[in-house]
Amino acid sequence: MRASLPAMRRLLFVLALAFAVPAFTPALAEDRPLDRLVADYEAYALGQDPVTAGREGDRGALARLPDASLAADLQRRAAYEAFQARLSAVDPAGLSPEARLNREFLAWTLDRRLKSLAFDEARMPFNSDSGFDIEMNYYASTTPLDSEADAEAWIARLRALPGYYAQNIENARRGVRTGFTQPATTGEAVLKRARAAAAAPVETDPLLKPFAAAKLPPARAAELRAAAEAVIRDRIRPAQRRFAEFLEREYLPASRKGLGARTLAGGEAYYRWLVADHTTTAMTPDQIHELGLAEVARIRARMEEVKAEAGFQGDLSAFIRFLRTDPRFYARTREELLEKTAWFDKRVDDQMPRWFGRLPRLPFGVRPVPAEIEEGYTSARYFEGAPKQGVAGGHIVNTSHLDQRPLFEMPALAAHEAQPGHHTQIALAQELEGVPAFRRNAGVTAFTEGWGLYAERLAGEMGLYRNPYETFGMLSMEMWRACRLVADTGIHWKGWTVAQAKTCFTDNTALAPLNIDVELARYVGWPGQALAYKVGQMKILELRERARGRLGDRFDIRRFHDAVLLAGPLPLGLLEQRIEAWTAAEAAR
């Protein structure tokens, strides 16, 4: 909720004072009740999220998984309402700038969590490329075993996994009873991966990955790995088979008939909330749709200019066809794709100090998407590291279907996932001092993905696209996100078919056909999330140009980027307040 105009002016004044000094401003006596509330909320939130707690250094949490039951959600609702009541009693007037930001962010967080619980989103615990059934595979990729205690904690998590399956199956069963389900196409994709997981050899299960680099005596490591294999064989495989049976016998027959979220019971209100939640704005689905159409037209005009710079004589459709089919634009081996990605990442690294005042200490690696999930997976993704556990970030690259992974798009995609994109933003947030964990680790899609898309354009400003083809690849990536605004609202609000939504991508981007199909399946099963990228990017660009216009020659891009990133992820309204205050402080320097 936005502050009133007088309150906004007061906030800008105190924030400007905060930005006028290099470090956090001292806490005030009036901060103490809020500090106690934030500490209590932090302890509660980490208790509910043992995965994050483990990454934050709680070794006991490494042996646990979250409680996904309905009973736990009801208890959470009561706890959040109690925190909300305590927060409303804290007068913001006398707070220090940092405490005021904590208060506003906590208010936003509690409102968001309560609305999610009100819609009972747990009833839909999976989609085409993510879900409870593959969460542990991600954790396995980033879990170090540096001691016997670490290995025993991981085995304890494995033992907890069948119960986690049972809770989520029951949540999905509640979705069946209440008409809150995925469409059949999504259910079929999840069934396919569930069957594959249930039938996979135990000896090569992804859940055993932590043992590959365990810092343990070989004999003891072999014993502990054998114990983990027994848990997978005797407990997890039966749970995976039960999940596949549930999908086939109960879920698919009850799948929703329409594709769009609006066809769900209560779907209209639900999709409106998804739009608000993912974009952190008050924009309506229709406004988002119109924004997408306008951006498609703008980017297409720029594409025409770049096509001419490349010296191509045909129309845009012919140019896109040329890019999709000419062998020069595709790697010949998986290793070549990884090597070219790593080379681009290092070229970015060479330029980063000229564009950022503070860089993350945590490094990242380039890794292939695990073979067991690559078939239906996106082209690339970022896996966050865990500084306190000694785990680097990961730029994950899909090395399957090489004829669908064009090299002219790879630089923009790498800029998004690694540097200056997700790795820069997320690792800096993880390393912030004096900022509570609930802010450092917050999932603010519009900020995180908006920054990632902003980073793609920034890479061009940094001089990292070497020819018109790579520049066109960046534009194709941006067009992809503009088409998301059109397609997501088209499917979930306007009742479009997949074929209708697909047209924007086939007509306006150079995305490979497989990527388009994988992405559309994701939008169907994960409504609203795809809207955040373009909305967030446009807000960051707007704030940058507004600050540049006010500051003129005093505008420093390095200081601007630090101002955006060094409070952690923020809803766009709070980001705007922060940059307005920073601009005022810069003008007064």
* Segments making up each domain of the chain, as ranges: 5-118, 132-257, 270-536
Whole-number average pLDDT of the chain = 93
pLDDT tens, position by position, 242-265? 999 999 999 999 999 999 999 998
Mean pLDDT, residues 115-133 taken together: 96
Query: What H or E segment, with its residue span, contains residue 380?
Result: strand 380-383
User: What integer is the mean pLDDT of 292-317?
Assistant: 97
Residue 15 pLDDT > 60: no
Mean of pLDDT values over 424-439:
94
User: How many CB atoms are closer than 10 A to CB 93?
Assistant: 9
Q: Count of CB atoms within 10 A of residue 324's CB?
A: 16
Whose CA is closest to 401, among 383, 378, 367? Answer: 378
12 has pLDDT over 60: no
Tell me the per-residue pLDDT of 457-491, one tens digit each, with 9 for 90 and over.
999 999 999 999 999 999 999 999 999 999 999 99
Q: 6-10, 32-36, 210-214, 371-375 — which is least confidently predicted?
A: 6-10
Arithmetic mean of pLDDT, 61-76: 98
Q: What is the pLDDT of residues 388-417, one digit of tens each?
A: 889 999 999 999 999 999 999 999 999 999
Distance of alpha carbon 100 from alpha carbon 8, whole angstroms:
12
d(CA 186, CA 245): 16
Decide if pLDDT at 130 tops 50: yes
User: Rounded to whole angstroms, how far apart are CA atoms 141 and 462?
Assistant: 32
pLDDT score of 30 = 83
Q: What is the CA radius of gyration of the chain?
A: 24
- The answer to whether the beta carbons of residues 333 and 402 sit under 8 Å apart is yes
Q: Is 466 exposed, middle or buried (0-12, 13-18, 19+ CB in 10 A)?
A: exposed
DSSP secondary structure code for residue 260 in this structure: S
pTM over cut 0.85? yes
Residue 10's pLDDT band (cuts 50, 70, 90): very low
CA distances from 175 to 27, 122, 167, 246, 274 (A): 46, 8, 13, 13, 18
Mean of pLDDT values over 354-375? 93
- Is the pLDDT assigned to residue 514 strictly greater than 80? yes
Measure the CA–CA gap between 434 and 567, rounded to whole angstroms: 10
* Under 8 Å between Cβ of 585 and 20: yes
Nearest-CA neighbor of 406 among 297, 480, 484? 480
Per-residue pLDDT for 575 more than 80? yes
Q: For 381, list phi and psi in degrees, rounded to 5.
A: -160, 165
pLDDT at 21: 33
What are the distances in angstroms from CA 556 to CA 67, 110, 455, 583? 46, 35, 17, 11
H-assigned helices in 49-96: 50-55, 70-88
pLDDT of amino acid 25: 53
Q: Which of 26-35, 286-295, 339-348 has the lowest mean pLDDT?
A: 26-35
Q: What is the pLDDT of residue 26?
A: 52
**Residue position matching structure tokens 């542990």:** 136
DSSP β-ladder status, 380-383 and 364-368: unpaired
The 10s digit of each residue's pLDDT in 182-240 is 999 999 999 999 999 999 999 999 999 999 999 999 999 999 999 999 999 999 999 99
- The average pLDDT across 129-145 equals 92
Average the pLDDT over 300-323 and give the result.
Answer: 96
Among 142-146, 162-166, 225-229, 282-286, name the one with the lowest average pLDDT.
142-146
Predicted pLDDT of residue 20: 37
Direct distance between the N- and C-terminal alpha carbons of the chain, in angstroms, rounded to an integer: 31
Sheet holding 364-368, edge to edge: 364-368, 393-397, 380-383
Q: Per-residue pLDDT for 22 more than 50? A: no
Tell me what pLDDT residue 28 has: 64
| DSSP code string of 166-211 | HHHHHHHHHHHHHT---BHHHHHHHHHHHHHHHHS-GGG-GGGGGG
**Dist CA 410 CA 358 (whole Å):** 26
Q: Tell me what pLDDT residue 499 has.
A: 96
Tell me what pLDDT residue 508 has: 94
CA gap 21, 218 in Å, rounded: 53
Per-residue confidence (pLDDT) for residue 433, from 0 to 100: 92
pLDDT-derived band at 375 (thresholds 50, 70, 90) equals confident
Question: Are residues 545 and 357 in contact, defined by beta-carbon separation less than 8 angstroms?
Answer: no
17 pLDDT band, cuts 50/70/90, is very low
Find the length of the chain. 589
Confidence of residue 7 (pLDDT cuts 50, 70, 90): very low
In the chain, what percentage of residues exceed pLDDT 90?
Answer: 88
Q: Give 13's pLDDT tier (boundaries 50, 70, 90).
A: very low
